[in-house]
Structure 1
Amino acid sequence: MQRVRYAVVGAGWISQEAFLPSIHATPNSEVTAIVSGSGEVARQLAEFHDIPHVFGYDDYDRMLAEDIVDAVYIALPNSMHADYSIRAARAGKHALVEKPLAVSVAECEAMIRAAEENGTLLMTAYRLHSEPGTVKVLDLIRSGEIGEPKLFASTFSFQSAPENHRLLAKHWGGPLQDIGVYCLNAARHCLGSEPVEVTAMKVHGNGDPRFREVEGSMAVTMRFPKDRLAQFIISFESDDTDTYRIIGTEGEITVEQCYDLHFNPRIWVSKGRERREIDVPETDHFAGQTAYFSDCILSGKRPVPDGEEGLADVRALLAIEAAAKTGQPQRVDTPNRDNHPDQACVRVLPRTDRRLVL
């Protein structure tokens, strides 16, 4: 089988813990280069994962100009996504970009335009769009299992390490951008539409020095068409939680372990006194995501979580941020999208223990 050759751009925790190990489980993908600001870390990872090329950030354009990679996986701080994605597109390379896609609507639009003008594919790294449990929930909703979906509620939290770059305002850090995007994306697809109005409240950790530049926690409420409502709370200062519920006119769906890449989601459907658990196959989230994108590259098919999908979330994130800052509701003007994750996005691949975290 033909394999898509990737460069990992940014050799931090998510690349070490998730992306690099997952590649070994994919039948259609391989990593042929690492681009990093830490040469020693990159060399150790390259040796461990049998990757032939290592580059510094200053050599990024030279790497793109050579016949070494077909695509890049961008796992850099949020403020760097647009620059490295656009440069890749101009060199004819496809881009899988971590979320949020960029730090502004203008940057997202520039990334989308660069991909279109150069005939490359741009995919926002929504790994859960290829995870079978997530798509199963959407299938249940679309089939009318709980009637008309009316309410969405989610909590996602953990204790952030003090040195995490997601605590820096210059990289558009904070729990909203880092983990709130998961809740927002899940709400959009579970309710099958785009939010039209948002409100939010934030707190800064009651003097915790980690939160001098970004909030420690945030609570968000969103209004959707047909008088549907969604709420989520995210936090960098609380114990580990990740769960959501969708309540319809005839039942509800509860999902636990819904966002964490290390776990299989647990799903229950409740109708009256009846409650049943839905079986979900075990899979590696990152392997599924990358295999799906490689299939899109090899077939020339636009991925469902494309640049427009990333833009939709960034537009809502900015409105939420403004609502939290001003204390006033904010409108969100995103055209309704018909593209939602379905079974064609799903890839079930084994987890691997082959990882090196430095």
Structure 2
Amino acid sequence: MAVKQSEKIRYAVVGLGHIAQNAVLPGFTQSTANSELVALVSGDEVKLQKLSKEYNVDYTFDYSDYRKMLYSGLIDAVYISLPNDMHARFAVEAMQAGVHVLCEKPLAMSVDDAKIMAQVSEKTGSRLMTAYRLHFQRANLKAIEIAKSGQIGEVRFFNTVFSMRVKEGNVRTSRTKGGGPLYDIGIYCINAVRGFFGELPEEVFAFANQGFDQRSKEVDEMLSVVMKFSGGRMATFICSFSGQHQAAFDVVGTTGCLRLENAYEYFDDMTLYFSRVNAATRKYKFKKSDQFGPEIVYFSDCLINKKHPEPNATEGVLDLMVIEAIMKSVKLRKPVTLTALSKTLHPTLRQALRRPAVEKPYTVHVEAPSMD
């Protein structure tokens, strides 16, 4: 679908769960310079009625009318915030209709499905962006810039922990819906280390635990992963659905180190610590901000100016390659080797965008996934 340079990009938000109501919809209120929310898609009529009124959205559609909406001429792009197992199907159908797609991570449930999405994007000319909000968040990008500048020497290892006490019965505990800590929060750990090392790991080795309580009856409770990169560099992470909330990473080089606290959060302040041998530790504070408005603004700018987005389909494919290798390692109980796949675009501090933090939003038929 062609977009005139003078136009705002018209969006439909597909799926009105927790992330959509608490972050995506408020993000549209801060991206009005080049973006317009014109439609909502959900299977919950009450959500459609109340949220369309709250956000002054003219058009609402049930999932059964999704195809009708795609060919209506009302929208240019969709923001897909559905359960993980629905991403690929809804994205492919949109791109085949000439509609651009901004899709929550993980891009799909498998590498094969993600590659199909990329192929459809290439064939149709519809842009496809993986919604990695931290690719526009200044604290994360500042840490990458410091590490790549050589200020901490040669980066040798990376360690991170991401945990949350997910509620029993939440969609994240459903295997058929693509739940589990690896797809939901472990993917942040994978994407973060790839941002620092700029490549896929050569080898991964992982352990998983399942059955700790009812929440992990269908999915893993937690995973512990070791990744080996070129040059002997190492990375480790633990992601958990049972541990008290933690979200921080450490990057250690030969002459210094970095630590980012609340690294993956979108409701909290972040603090970056920068230490060097024989030098005082520097501390950078980053106030909480809206992390979803910036990715919407960025994607709209790409569409208006006919640019390829940085966190593109390849970015989503690469993380899924690591996820599949981790799952294979858990099953086989041994290290798994990955095949190298390069990418040409990488996140830099130049693409950092900031919007003020949003107030607690109005929500309908939704609750937070975590007990914290």
* TM-score w.r.t. length of structure 2: 0.93
* Contact kept? 1:218, 1:234, Cα under 8 Å: yes
Cα distance in structure 2, aligned partners of 1:174 and 1:130: 26
Cα distance in structure 2, aligned partners of 1:13 and 1:190: 30
The amino acid that maps onto 1:212 is: K
Match of 1:68 in 2: 74
Provide Cα deviations, 1:97-136, integer angstroms capped at 9, x if missing partner: 1111101111111101111111111000100001111111
Determine which of 329, 332, 335 is the counterpart of 2:341: 335
Provide Cα deviations, 1:282-308, integer angstroms capped at 9, x if missing partner: 531001111111111111111110000
Structure 1, unmatched stretches of 5+, are: none
* Contact kept? 1:292, 1:346, Cα under 8 Å: no
* Contact kept? 2:130, 2:312, Cα under 8 Å: yes
**Aligned 1:270-281 pairs, distance under 5 A:** 270-273=275-278, 274-280=280-286
Match of 1:145 in 2: 151
In the TM superposition, what is the alpha-carbon distance from 1:279 to its structure 2 partner? 4.2
1:104 equivalent to 2:110? Answer yes
**Aligned 1:49-64 pairs, distance under 5 A:** 49-64=55-70
Match of 2:22 in 1: 17
Cα distance in structure 1, aligned partners of 2:342 and 2:231: 13
The amino acid that maps onto 1:111 is: M
Q: What's the % identity of the aligned pairs?
A: 36
Determine which of 224, 234, 254 is the counterpart of 2:239: 234
* Contact kept? 1:219, 1:232, Cα under 8 Å: yes
* Contact kept? 1:312, 1:334, Cα under 8 Å: no
* Contact kept? 2:182, 2:239, Cα under 8 Å: yes
Structure 2, unmatched stretches of 5+, are: 1-5, 365-372
Between the two proteins, the alignment pairs up a number of residues equal to 357
Cα distance in structure 1, aligned partners of 2:118 and 2:74: 24
* Contact kept? 2:269, 2:285, Cα under 8 Å: no
* Contact kept? 1:25, 1:351, Cα under 8 Å: no
In the TM superposition, what is the alpha-carbon distance from 1:193 to its structure 2 partner? 1.7
Determine which of 313, 321, 324 is the counterpart of 2:319: 313
The amino acid that maps onto 1:266 is: T
**Aligned 1:149-160 pairs, distance under 5 A:** 149-160=155-166
* Contact kept? 2:270, 2:287, Cα under 8 Å: no
Determine which of 215, 222, 233 is the counterpart of 1:217: 222
Match of 1:263 in 2: 268
Provide Cα deviations, 1:144-198, integer angstroms capped at 9, x if missing partner: 1101111000000010011211111112210011000000000011122211110
* Contact kept? 1:7, 1:33, Cα under 8 Å: yes
1:254 equivalent to 2:245? Answer no
* Contact kept? 2:180, 2:221, Cα under 8 Å: yes
Cα distance in structure 2, aligned partners of 1:261 and 1:205: 29
The amino acid that maps onto 2:145 is: D
In the TM superposition, what is the alpha-carbon distance from 1:78 to its structure 2 partner? 1.2
Provide Cα deviations, 1:246-290, integer angstroms capped at 9, x if missing partner: 000110000001001112321010113521112446531001111
* Contact kept? 2:203, 2:336, Cα under 8 Å: yes
**Aligned 1:173-192 pairs, distance under 5 A:** 173-192=179-198
Provide Cα deviations, 1:1-33, integer angstroms capped at 9, x if missing partner: 732111110000000000001111112212111
The amino acid that maps onto 2:86 is: M
The amino acid that maps onto 2:175 is: A
* Contact kept? 1:204, 1:215, Cα under 8 Å: yes
The CA RMSD over aligned residues, in Å, is: 1.3
The amino acid that maps onto 1:107 is: D
Cα distance in structure 2, aligned partners of 1:2 and 1:117: 24
In the TM superposition, what is the alpha-carbon distance from 1:74 to its structure 2 partner? 0.6
Determine which of 128, 131, 152 is the counterpart of 2:134: 128
In the TM superposition, what is the alpha-carbon distance from 1:338 to its structure 2 partner? 3.6
Cα distance in structure 2, aligned partners of 1:303 and 1:226: 30
Provide Cα deviations, 1:37-74, integer angstroms capped at 9, x if missing partner: 11111211111111111100110000000121110011
The amino acid that maps onto 1:41 is: K
* Range 270-279 or range 74-83, more displaced: 270-279
Cα distance in structure 2, aligned partners of 1:125 and 1:283: 16
In the TM superposition, what is the alpha-carbon distance from 1:205 to its structure 2 partner? 4.6
* Contact kept? 1:123, 1:293, Cα under 8 Å: yes
* Contact kept? 2:268, 2:287, Cα under 8 Å: no
The amino acid that maps onto 2:274 is: V
* TM-score w.r.t. length of structure 1: 0.97
Cα distance in structure 2, aligned partners of 1:2 and 1:246: 42
Determine which of 303, 328, 349 is the counterpart of 1:322: 328
* Range 264-273 or range 77-86, more displaced: 264-273
The amino acid that maps onto 1:24 is: T
